[in-house]
Chain A
Amino acid sequence: MINEKKYTKAQLIFLLVLRFVIGWHVLYEGISKVMNPQWTSANFLQESQGILSGFSGWILSNSSLLSIVDFLNIWGLVLIGLGLIFGFLFKPAAIAGSVLIFIYYLSVPPLVGYEYTLPSDGSNLVINRTLIEAVALFGLALFPTNEVFGLDYFISSRQKGTLQHGRK
């Protein structure tokens, strides 16, 4: 059990800020897709190169599979984003988010010799912002703040309170 006494105040603030900004980003990526009924992961998957390109091609080749992937992706992003911001099921959310974003990275890794038709964000060599976000999110799972700030804390302290007082 982690409590705030293990972190300095500055550390705790930093972890919270990191949690909120990543949560915000992931949630809005999800929301923007929910709001756009035309959205599909097809364009992204078409760009895929490297170890996941075969997997992407398989998804693209089957329209019902593609719509399942789209659905899971959209609502996965929304739920992960909410989990991060509200500190609800924080650890699973952070780990799932980290894995999901890592899959995005692996689908279109900026490796030498891989060229993409869609515009990329900034100058990247092997490492890009997607990878950094995946790594940072994984780090958050290792330094959870949900047990200090978040619904998980609320739930666990309620449970503790119930046990201690034998009520509810």
Chain B
Amino acid sequence: MAENNNNTGEREPAKNQSSPDSTEHTSTKDISRRTVLKAFAGIPVAGILGYEWFKKINYDKNKKDRIARELGLDKMEFPVSDYGKDAKRDTLRIGIIGFGRRAEQLSAGLGFMHPDEVKKRENNNTLISWLEQEDLHVAITGICDVFDLHAERGLTVANNSVRHGASKLSVKQYRTYQDMLADESIDAVIISTPDHHHASMAIDAVKAGKHVYLEKSVAHTEEELNELYRTVKESSIVFQLGHQITQSTVFKQAKEIIGKNVLGKITLIETTSNRNTAEGAWIRHLDSNGNPKPGDLKSIDWERWLGNAPYVPFTIDRYYNWTKWFAYDTGLIGQLFTHEFDAVNQLLRIGIPQSVSSSGGIYYWKDNREIPDSLHCVFEYPHKDLTLLYSGNLASSRSRGRVFMGHDASMELGNNIKITVDRNSTQYKKGIDSGLIDTGSPMLTYNPGAGQIDAVTSASEKYYADRGLTNTVINGKQIDVTHLHLREWLDCIRENKTPSANIEVAYEEGIACLMAHRSYLEKRQVFWDEVNRKIV
């Protein structure tokens, strides 16, 4: 037996560990010294593991510190969110103009959901995150839509008080949005109609003294945009443009990263839209069985739907697929590039470009559309030494991401952040030469939703290591970003502050989009006349 102990090489530590015991027990002759040695054979193994573990902790910490220091992230301050600190507040009464698909999402963000949707989410287990959403202390008290079916659905949604704390105030349907604006009992409005109504409705709402949450795009013409800008500036209402992606915590981290000059001088930003479905190409008039969706001239006030747009006869195609025509919006630019511009502008505040040139065409979806399905725009910012590229395509879903290219590193920003150091970087030359920084793969990634990879087998521990920027979503919960954007707007109304997608950034975005649109239509480079503040 003693031989076995020797062979496993564990005699000495075991002896030390168990000596008090063995002394006691040897005297009683209950258990021999040999027994004790054998009993504690695991201790030296655990000891070596502990020692190696300690070594690893030090090594990792050291390496992480060095990389963080090298990238300038060692003094990074993560924004601490005050989310979920519920305070007693007066209920704000909201009216919703245009109750289509987007309005349902916005209502859910406010805390109201259709019973069918509640059931659906209950069945696929996504209801909990919505129920856990912070109470915004609002009531949807007004609904207005030219389509009876949508208005009725809106009433049902607004009346649904599944969530604890949802208001019991009654909901009123208004025949026209002007009627709603004239009603003193409405504090604020959400405008989620087709785009050609946006600016004029928002102008009227501001004039009526209502706070405005306006879905993008902000305006269809330059004149409207200028008038909206002036009207909001002269008022004291809180204006928020409907974007949501920058509410994600990754954007707040990205802002810190750019602020720390981790990327070096950024001269090129590439943004893209990549879709490849009929739905994504705005063909939405058929239900899942291939039958036309409901709606006719009896249930839809077509003239009111057209508004100031030129008269055309009603068709289901036009009603549901309005995005396809220039009379109602600007296609890829207004529907998708707006989000890209907002993302970049919130991070870098690039403002209005000096020039834009766009080109593209209808190359795949050869239906009756006017809008291009492949569109590419170059926005020049010579005063900022920067080019912003946009490339949208509706016939390939290959993900091309959104990339900020700096001299020292590039950052891909989507649902997560990936930073790859440039192999010719000046700032990180020492780190690259010493082998500390690998330029072949992302150096740092930040993903708020996910942690590390599991499983005993994981070869991926190293793969996921050094992700020094990990953080949870908000208090570990998945939170809807639209809800956060609405929340910001409501907080600003209550505290008389300016929200992130305020009229200034909305104006910059509106001008950039209108320039891109004009460039496509006129097949020439268009410029921004800084002095006269107009597109030329």
Which residue of chain B is the closest to A40 with respect to CB atoms? B451
> In chain B, residues 169-210, which have Cβ atoms closer than 8 Å to a Cβ of chain A?
none
> In chain A, residues 100-157, which have Cβ atoms closer than 8 Å to a Cβ of chain B?
101, 104, 107-108, 118-122, 128-130, 133, 148-151, 153-154, 157
Which residue of chain B is the closest to A107 with respect to CB atoms? B455
What residues on A are CB-neighbors of B129 within 8 Å?
Answer: 63
Closest Cβ of chain A: how far from B98's Cβ, in Å?
A: 33
Distance, CA A91 to CA B49, complexed state (A): 22
Distance, CA A27 to CA B456, complexed state (A): 10
What residues on A are CB-neighbors of B454 within 8 Å?
Answer: 33, 39-41, 43-45, 73, 104
A9→B4 contact, CB < 8 A: yes
What residues on B are CB-neighbors of A26 within 8 Å?
Answer: 456
With A26-B456, A29-B456, A148-B38 already in contact, the answer to whether A61 and B451 are too (CB < 8 A) is no
Of the listed stretches B39-47, B256-264, B274-282, B371-379, name the one at the interface; the rest are far from the partner chain: B39-47
Which residue of chain A is the closest to B132 with respect to CB atoms? A63
What residues on B are CB-neighbors of A35 within 8 Å?
Answer: 57
Contact of A28 among B41, B49, B128, B472 (CB under 8 A): B49
With A62-B125, A148-B38 already in contact, the answer to whether A4 and B1 are too (CB < 8 A) is yes
With A25-B456, A36-B451 already in contact, the answer to whether A157 and B42 are too (CB < 8 A) is no
B31→A9 contact, CB < 8 A: no
Distance, CA A121 to CA B54, complexed state (A): 25
Distance, CA A108 to CA B28, complexed state (A): 54
Distance, CA A42 to CA B473, complexed state (A): 14
Contact of A130 among B35, B53, B451, B455 (CB under 8 A): B455
With A9-B3, A9-B4, A28-B53 already in contact, the answer to whether A104 and B455 are too (CB < 8 A) is yes
What residues on B are CB-neighbors of A33 within 8 Å?
Answer: 452, 454
B3→A23 contact, CB < 8 A: no
Distance, CA A167 to CA B42, complexed state (A): 28
Say if the beta carbon of B27 comes within 8 Å of chain A: no
What residues on A are CB-neighbors of B460 within 8 Å?
Answer: 118-119
Say if the beta carbon of A24 comes within 8 Å of chain B: yes
B451→A39 contact, CB < 8 A: yes
Closest Cβ of chain A: how far from B372's Cβ, in Å?
A: 34
What residues on A are CB-neighbors of B124 within 8 Å?
Answer: 61
Which residue of chain A is the closest to B1 with respect to CB atoms? A4
Which residue of chain A is the closest to B52 with respect to CB atoms? A28
Say if the beta carbon of A95 comes within 8 Å of chain B: no
Distance, CA A149 to CA B453, complexed state (A): 34
A40→B28 contact, CB < 8 A: no
A44→B453 contact, CB < 8 A: yes
Taken residue by residue from 426 to 460, chain B's Cβ proximity to chain A (1 for < 8 Å, 0 otherwise) reads as: 00000000000000000000000011111111111
Distance, CA A9 to CA B2, complexed state (A): 11
Say if the beta carbon of B7 comes within 8 Å of chain A: yes
What residues on A are CB-neighbors of B4 within 8 Å?
Answer: 4, 9, 12-13, 149
Contact of A38 among B3, B36, B125, B452 (CB under 8 A): B452
What residues on B are CB-neighbors of A118 within 8 Å?
Answer: 453, 460, 463
A85→B457 contact, CB < 8 A: no
Say if the beta carbon of A94 comes within 8 Å of chain B: no
Say if the beta carbon of A165 comes within 8 Å of chain B: yes
Say if the beta carbon of B522 comes within 8 Å of chain A: no
Closest Cβ of chain A: how far from B482's Cβ, in Å?
A: 20
Distance, CA A20 to CA B35, complexed state (A): 19
What residues on B are CB-neighbors of A61 within 8 Å?
Answer: 124-126
Closest Cβ of chain A: how far from B62's Cβ, in Å?
A: 16
Say if the beta carbon of B301 comes within 8 Å of chain A: no
Give 30 A-B contacts (CB < 8 Å), ordered by A residue: A9-B4, A24-B45, A27-B49, A28-B49, A38-B472, A39-B452, A40-B450, A40-B452, A61-B124, A62-B125, A63-B477, A73-B454, A82-B46, A86-B40, A86-B42, A104-B456, A107-B455, A108-B455, A118-B463, A121-B458, A133-B456, A149-B41, A150-B39, A151-B40, A154-B36, A154-B40, A157-B31, A158-B30, A161-B31, A162-B30
Apart from A86-B46, A87-B42, what 14 extra A-B contacts exist at CB < 8 Å?
A23-B42, A23-B45, A27-B49, A33-B452, A38-B452, A40-B454, A61-B124, A61-B126, A85-B45, A104-B456, A120-B459, A149-B8, A150-B42, A157-B31
Give the 5 A-B residue pairs with the shortest CB-CB distance, closest first. Answer: A154-B39, A44-B454, A121-B459, A61-B125, A86-B42
